[in-house]
């Protein structure tokens, strides 16, 4: 007997877990049109809208959801959406509300850390994130962002330990590519003399943990309890090519066709093709300088991109 087909709401949940934001939004809209009454659907739409860049709609929805359910999880998502709009005052209000609800909750601390990072208060963000990591040594968001805070304070040796652990734990999540990028960037930015000492306080344990366990620390991914991490992440991993690479290749093809057509009209197609190649090479170099040297914080909807730096005293 064939299992029942997943509903639109269930497909939307799976899309959120895998980071397919546009598809999640479509399926959520279909579910609502079909009369679905799942209480988490508005939150799901808010998270998806944030990640596809429709920030005005996202913040409106998440504000409404937060009024109905002012939990640290929802307020964390709202703070991330506000930060994506560079609305620091709105993000501060969301963090303050989360503090009022439960100041010690991991989602509250992560939201406070995101706001501190946006303001360049790396030591304050580190304090919040260390508290989260002490409680949950497998919190990918906290580990990743803590590493960024340490890099910004010139402590790359410590950062490598936390980022390496985040990377090892994140291979079964949609963030695996971002974590790989951050880790590789840290390796490339290391300099002789970087402190490789053991980080103070409890360090993440390398002991294995059940990868099928739910991951409640991932606010954007955990729309409801009970998700299971992918049991065989390698079987469904996307190709080892970045989204930016595909965009560059598409741009190359489009530009080549357009310039060739223009060149053909002036009887100089070889020169036109050469000009297209030169233009694409310059575009690739520009794109790499724009995107290849930044560490990216989680959740990615917060749009926090920070360049690693080592010099002591900079913060």
Q: Is 210 left (phi over 0), alpha (psi -120 to 50) or beta?
A: beta
Q: Where are the beta strands (DSSP E) in 43-174?
A: none
Q: What is the pLDDT of residues 138-150, one digit of tens each?
A: 999 999 999 999 9
3-state secondary structure of 305: strand
Residue 12 falls inside a structural domain: yes
Residue-level pLDDT at 170: 86
Residue 211 lies in a domain: no
| Structure confidence at residue 88 as a pLDDT band (50, 70, 90) | very high
Structure confidence at residue 32 (pLDDT):
93
| 219: in domain | no
Are 103 and 11 in the same domain? yes
CA distance 112 to 96: 9
Give the pLDDT confidence of 224-255 residue by residue, as tens digits.
333 333 333 333 334 444 455 666 667 777 77
19-60: per-residue pLDDT in tens? 899 999 999 999 999 999 999 999 999 999 999 999 999 999
Q: State mean pLDDT over 166-186.
A: 87
CB-based contacts of 249, cutoff 8 Å, min separation 6: none
Under a CB-based contact definition with an 8 Å cutoff, are residues 223 and 13 in contact? yes
Range of the domain at 16: 1-112
Residue 219 has a pLDDT of 36
Q: If pLDDT is split at 50, 70 and 90, which confidence band does 303 have?
A: confident
Of residues 25 and 4, the one with the higher pLDDT is 25
- CATH code for the domain in which residue 16 is found: 1.25.40.10
Summarize pLDDT for 193-202 with one digit per residue, the tens: 555 444 444 4
Whether residue 306 is contained in a domain is answered as no
Choosing from 158, 180, 205, the residue where a domain stops is 205
% residues pLDDT > 90 (the chain): 47
Among 205, 233, 260, the domain-final residue is 205
pLDDT higher for 211 or 183?
A: 183
How many structural domains is the chain composed of? 3
Average pLDDT of 85-103? 96
Q: How many CB atoms lie within 10 A of CB 29?
A: 15
Average pLDDT of the chain is 78
The answer to whether 129 and 199 are in contact (CB under 8 A) is no
**Do 106 and 131 reside in the same domain of the chain?**
no
């Amino acid at each position: 007997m064939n299992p029942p087909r997943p509903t639109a709401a269930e497909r939307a949940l799976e899309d959120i877990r895998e980071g397919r934001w546009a598809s999640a939004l479509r399926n959520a809209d279909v579910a609502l049109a079909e009369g679905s009454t799942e209480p988490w659907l508005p939150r799901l739409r808010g998270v998806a809208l944030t990640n596809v860049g429709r920030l005005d709609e996202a913040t409106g929805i998440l504000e409404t959801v937060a009024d109905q359910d002012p939990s640290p999880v929802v307020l964390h998502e709202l703070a991330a959406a506000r930060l994506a709009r560079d609305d620091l005052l709105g993000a501060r209000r969301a963090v303050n509300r989360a503090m009022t609800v439960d100041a010690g909750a991991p989602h509250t601390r992560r939201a406070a850390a995101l706001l501190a990072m946006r303001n360049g208060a790396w030591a304050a963000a580190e304090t919040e994130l260390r508290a989260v990591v002490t409680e949950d040594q497998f919190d990918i968001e906290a580990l990743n962002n803590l590493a960024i805070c340490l890099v910004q304070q010139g402590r790359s040796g410590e950062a490598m330990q936390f980022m390496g652990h985040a990377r090892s734990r994140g291979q079964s999540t949609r963030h695996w590519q971002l974590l790989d990028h951050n880790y590789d960037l840290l390796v490339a930015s290391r300099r002789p003399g970087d402190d490789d000492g053991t980080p103070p306080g409890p360090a993440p344990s390398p002991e294995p943990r059940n990868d099928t366990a739910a991951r409640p620390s991932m606010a954007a991914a955990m729309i409801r309890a009970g998700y299971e991490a992918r049991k065989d992440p390698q079987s469904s991993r996307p190709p080892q090519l970045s989204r930016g690479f595909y965009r560059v290749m598409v741009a190359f093809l489009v530009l080549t066709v357009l310039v060739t057509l223009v060149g053909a009209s002036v009887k100089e197609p070889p020169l036109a093709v050469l000009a297209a190649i030169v233009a694409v090479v310059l575009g690739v170099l520009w794109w790499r300088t724009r995107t290849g040297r930044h560490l990216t914080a989680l959740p990615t909807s917060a749009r926090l991109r920070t360049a690693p730096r080592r010099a002591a005293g900079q913060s």
